[in-house]
Amino acid sequence: MKKPIIIAGPCTFGSYEELYKNATLVKERGIEYLRAGTFKMRTSPDSFQGLREEGMEMLLKIKKELGLKIVTEFTSIEQVHKYGDKVDIIQIGTRNMYNYELLKEVGKTKTPVILKRAFSATYDEWIKAAEYIKKEGNKKIILCERGVRNNISNETRNMLDLQAIPYIHQKTNYPIIVDPSHASGLSYMVEPMSKAAIAAGSDGLLVEVHYHPEESLCDKEETIDFETLDHILEFIKKEK
């Protein structure tokens, strides 16, 4: 099996210094891909929405300075037009999986796309959403399982559907990665669920990490520290 792709970084950031420190710690571990959101899709309009365009300039500066590949979410067609060819992977978030006009626009770029599963989407709906991208010409699509809503328990944010991994492998040619952070919403579950995802054949992980998780401006409860990330990386090294 191919080496899993590891994408790590903070959910979002409030300053260049914060981003730079996290990016340096990601790079030090030999990780190629930095994730960080600057156009945030928050449940409440009163929550921090990301540094937006200003943050995008910071991400592009980090790319140049540290040579890291940038993975970030776009939430509008305008952002895709403006920055689509400047980043290394475009992330489409769970709330936009059904935004077909956005998917079509991403499909017109040549940039790889991570398509997160909507938290209530069936496998079929998810695969058909990927087809909206593919139909426009962009075939570099990575599916991402990030947990689905369930009505059994509300102790975790979502429930990680590991069955998505063998299903997608069986039925499609798309690679599939797992985001264990948004799945549970709890940092202590990220390491065991990352290991489980790798054991189940995931093609990679998208993980939220911060040097001081409690200082994260978004999703601090699910954000792991770098020591925990090291445990996950050691496990992957042994496994593969």
Separation between Cα atoms, residue 212 and residue 137, nearest integer Å: 41
Give the H or E element holding residue 207. Answer: strand 204-208
CB of 158 to Mn ion, least distance (A): 12
Give the footprint of ligand PEP on this chain (CB under 6 A).
11, 37, 41, 93-94, 116, 146, 179, 182
Nearer to ligand PEP, 76 or 240 (CB): 76
3-state helix, strand, coil split of the chain in percent (to 5) is 40, 15, 40
Nearer to Mn ion, 107 or 222 (CB): 222
**Residues 12, 50 contacting (CB under 8 angstroms):** yes
Nearer to ligand PEP, 8 or 233 (CB): 8
Separation between Cα atoms, residue 236 and residue 234, nearest integer Å: 5
**Residues 54, 14 contacting (CB under 8 angstroms):** no
Nearer to ligand PEP, 116 or 210 (CB): 116
The 10 Å Cβ neighbour count of residue 147 is 24
Among 8, 11, 25, 106, binds Mn ion (CB under 5 A): 11
Q: By beta-carbon distance, which residue lies closest to ligand PEP?
A: 93
Query: Is residue 209 a contact point for Mn ion (CB under 5 A)?
Result: no
Out of ligand PEP, Mn ion, none, what residue 93 binds, judged by CB under 5 to 8 A for its kind, is ligand PEP
The footprint of Mn ion (CB under 5 A) covers 11, 219
